Each structure stands twice: as C-alpha cells, then as structure tokens.
Amino acid sequence: MMDFQFEGAAAFVTGGASGIGLAIVRSLVREGARVAIADFNKDWLEECRAEFGIQGLTVPLDVGDRSGWARARVMVEERFGPVHVLVNNAGIGPDFNQLDEMPPRHFDQMIEVKLTGTFNGIHEFVPGMRARRRGHVVNTASMAGLVSNAKMGAYTAAMFGVVGMSEVLAAELAPDGVGVSVLCPGRIVTRLTETNLRAGVEQKPIFAKAITENSPAPMEASVVGDLVIEAIRGNHLHVVTHGNRIGEVERRVAPVLEAFSRAPRTSTPDRGTG
C-alpha cells in the first residue's frame, strides 16, 4: 500500500494529548484527517477539545483497560466511521533503576502501558482494517527498542517488544493491504516526566539528571509528526528521528552477527522457529 489518502480518513491516537502524540494529531489534522485523541489525562484532553473543534474527538482511555478500548472504538466509529489510522503512542518513561532494584510495580506498569497497551489497540482496530483492506498502524517505540542501555531495563524490554511485534504485524498484514510503521524516536520534547508522576512511576532523580545533562537538546515533537505522515504515506516500516545515532545500532548488531561465526554449521534446514 502506497500513497495513503488522509483527506476524510478517521484516525485514533493514544497518548494523543501531549508530546509526540499531540504532534502526530496536529499533522494528521493538517492532512485532512478526523482524529480521535485518546489520553488518560482529562485536563490535557480539555486543551485538545478547544484546539481541534469538530476535527477532533477527545476520548478518555487507560490503554491497559480492554473494556475501555471497546467503548472507545464504539465512540469514534459513531462520530467518524471506521478507523483508517491507528497510532499506539501512549507510554511512560524509564525509572532509571537497575533491574534487580526496580520496584516490581514499575516493571508491571511499563509492560501494561507500552507493550500490552499496544497489543490492545491492535486487537481492537486491526480486524476492521483487514476486512476493509485499508488502513495503517503506527506503533511508537523508542531508540531503546533498537539499542540497550543500563538502568532502562523495563523500558528497553517493552520497546524491543513493540519493535518485534510491529515487524510481525507488518508481515501478517501485508497481504491484506494494511501498512505498519514502528516509530523509534530519540530524545524529544514531551511531558513524559509529568506522565510518569501521574502514573505513579517515580524516576531516580540522579540518573535522570545525568542523562539530561549529557544528551543533546531534545528535538521538537512537530518534526516527529511530519515523519509519521511520510511513513504512513510511503508505508515505511521503520521510522527513526535521529540519524546520527546509527553507530549505536551498528555496535549493537555487530556482536550478534559475530556470534554466528562461532555457531555450529548444520545441514538441517532452519525453519525459523528459534
């Protein structure tokens, strides 16, 4: 599927009331789409209601609540009709604990919001896209879904999971004409810290401060919104925001490839079952 037509299309964006999600909403609206903006923060949803008027529909949603997803789908379909673009963007930031010191509820919350929340969106909206043979799914992961860093264990596990799930989904949906993109942004201007506080996931201040001080200035979220439009239009599977970080990905992949040089050779066909 190429050259996706946005004019009049219906979109559903989770975590859509701030940061990357809000930037994606704005880009979709500029392209002529009607957008359901889903978020768990009702104050931010009120701001969106004022900004987007009739082209936007605000939907309170906890992405871990499957019954909430079902209600949200009914709400958006009654207003806009079938959803053509699903953006699973909702997420929370890392807590900067070492894995063995991480409060289990932090790990569980990360997996529920980012990984299970993404699956819930797919489960609710993709069957309709497949039946209509039209649609596109965008799953927001992170550069932490392509490279791993200490003190970001749960975050990295969830993001690697989103990348892998997106790649599987792309293979499954290609025969039905439904596209898939996985967004792996670097550091972007967002409200993740505030989102974490509202979700009850406290960050270790010393590590959060060190990462902030040692990183380049964050990119404006509006750039990401435009990249997502380009990815949907061209059906690009992988979307990254910071091209200068390619070396980190190459360094991660190098030891994996090197491991194959030490692996036994076999004449038995590899059927890809792991």
Report the catalytic residues.
Answer: 155
DSSP for 152-219, written as a single string: -HHHHHHHHHHHHHHHHHHHHHGGGTEEEEEEE--SB---HHHHHHHHT----HHHHHHHHHTSPPPB
49 contacts: CB under 8 Å, gap ≥ 6: 56, 58
Tokens of 219: 């990119």
Distance of CA 225 to the CA centre of its chain: 12
- How far apart are alpha carbons 28 and 232 in whole angstroms? 10
3-state secondary structure 126-156: HHHHHHHCCEEEEEECCHHHCCCCCCCHHHH
- How far apart are alpha carbons 193 and 92 in whole angstroms? 8
Which of 126, 181, 184 is closest to 159 using CA atoms?
Answer: 184
Q: Are strands 56-60 and 135-140 parallel, antiparallel or unpaired?
A: unpaired
At residue 29's C-alpha, the angle toward residues 41 and 170, to 5°, is 85
- How far apart are alpha carbons 245 and 255 in whole angstroms? 17
